[in-house]
Chains A and B, each alone.
Chain A
Amino acid sequence: MSESAATQTPSQTTIQTFVIVGAGQAGGETASELRKQGFTGRIVLVGDETHVPYRRPPLSKAYLSGTATQESLYILPPAGLEKARIEFIGGVRAERIDRATKQLHLSDGRVLDYDKLVLATGGRARVLSLPGADRPNVFPLRSIADVQAMRTHCLDGKSAVIIGGGFIGLEVAAVATKLGMKVTVLEGLPRVLARVTVPEVSTFFERIHREAGVDLRTGVQITAFEGEPLVTHVLLGDGSRIAADFILAGIGQVPNVELAQQAGLAVDNGIVVDEYSRTADPDIYAAGDCANHPNEFYGCRLRLESVQNAMEQGRVVAAGLLGKSQVYNVVPWFWSDQYDLKLQMVGLSAGFDRMVLRGDLNARAFAAFYLKDGRLIAADTVGRPQDFMFAKKLVALRVVVDPQVLADETVSLKTLLPAAA
């Protein structure tokens, strides 16, 4: 072999290994983006679920209702992983990071050497702190396995009690109603979706659910579960007793930070990363539900729980791993499907000083715009996709908007965009 040929062939030792912990939406996106950006080294994706990376939103929507198949959830099916030369280790937990030797210890005893490590560990459903919360008909909803386990209980004529009036709770209420179940939603706060939207929009969704036949109660206190081994009734502070065949605990999630914590990395409502999604260890990045990042757009730290965040941050991490550091700076957006309605939200409305409505809250299509100092900072839209799309641009560009145009259904929001956009 000539000398020049020898130098052109990368030797075994120069092949880099990137290990990703968590085969979810962020981990999967990081892996496939690495290949799209031309990385030729090893990519190892470790996940404690047995499934290849899959989409979670349908879990509380089309997958639970039975209209989407399990295969349709897969983002990267086995053939795609193979084609992209992504080594998938499923059903195995990452137990410990040894940062000094740059090794990851797995639950099956394997030890992986890494050049760079990505933590995409997501979150897990928060557990109800109530005696009986571990009984077999009380379910969290985070994974395919959770849906499979609850399926046999989600049957026509049965009673579902949903604890928590957040997105997951309300989406399951809609599906369960459609499946013919008798549905009760119990929310401890005075209104549903209290953490994510304004009272007007909460009232809208409360009405939609009640019209569909849901017994929706807010400001309630759950005092006990009755029945053994299965819970048969949920008892409330006001003395009422609600029959239940199936109970869903939709009370939020906690980020999976333990692996990072044990490795001595900073954790504060998520794994703390810088604007490039890197932890204090230059060889360890984090992305998705588990990561807490400084958001320049909002001037504060955020930990987001959304597909957009998982995917976009995953791509930023891929760029960073390849030495092309990008600042992660995102205007958050989110959606929720309930019955035939699609809610699309952009921006964070906290701190708004004026709300403008377009359309009619009593109808099934409207948009709520949130302004601060004259600028559009957020919008919630139902059944108005074009308004959502233009609001996304207006929020990102921090445009000062004319409230009269926002309120006038007959004028396209496009007219508010600066000419170049």
Chain B
Amino acid sequence: MPTITFLEPGGKAHVVDAQAGLSVMEAATRNDVPGIIGECGGCCTCATCHVYVDVAWYGRLESADEMEQGMLEGAVEPGPLSRLSCQIKVTDAIEGLVVTIPAGQL
């Protein structure tokens, strides 16, 4: 089970053992991590699973497709490290992933 760290905007860390096969969004919502909503259930339709990926990790992830990029443009406070966490699959390759939760999703 890869470990993922979710940082609240204030710095508080939530370390989650994520089940492979789920998305990073599901790893958060199933473990009561606050601030990641996942309204559409992970089908890239709501952008309420927006996170900022740690700079060291960003380039190691598969890049966002066109749909995700479009959604991110209109997310709350998007930045260069923004991703939709439902589009990041939990695999052994992301062991140790660190993401920051934005101040708001809606």
A residues engaging B (CB < 8 A)? 32, 35-36, 55, 57-58, 61, 72, 75-77, 79-80, 83-84, 307-308, 311, 333, 335, 337, 342, 344, 384-386, 388-390, 392-393, 412, 414
Contacts and interface: CB of A to CB of B under 8 A. Distances in A.
A388 B73 CA distance: 10
Nearest to B21: A72
B55 to A, nearest CB: 24
B67 interface: yes
Given A35-B32, A77-B30, A84-B32, A386 B43 contact: no
Contacts of B67: 342, 385
Interface in B19-64: 21-22, 26, 29-32, 34, 37, 39-41, 43-47
A335 B43 contact: yes
Pick the most buried of A55, A84, A386, A392: most chain B CB atoms within 10 A of its CB. Answer: A386
Given A75-B30, A335-B40, 15 more contacts: A57-B41, A72-B22, A75-B41, A84-B32, A307-B40, A335-B43, A384-B70, A385-B44, A386-B73, A389-B47, A389-B71, A389-B74, A392-B74, A412-B73, A414-B74
A386 B71 contact: yes
Pick the most buried of B46, B73, B74: most chain A CB atoms within 10 A of its CB. Answer: B74
Nearest to A396: B106
Nearest to B35: A36
B75 interface: yes
A55 B74 contact: no
A142 B26 CA distance: 23
Contacts, number: 67
B37 A311 contact: yes
Interface of B: 21-22, 26, 29-32, 34, 37, 39-41, 43-47, 67, 70-71, 73-75
A32 B30 CA distance: 10
B48 to A, nearest CB: 9
B70 A389 contact: yes
Contact of A389 (B31, B32, B73): B73
A374 B21 CA distance: 47
B70 A386 contact: yes
B31 A36 contact: no
Contact of B32 (A55, A83, A308, A388): A83
Nearest to B75: A389
Contacts of A388: 74
A279 B30 CA distance: 30
Contacts of A412: 73
Contacts of B75: 389
A338 to B, nearest CB: 13
Nearest to B47: A389
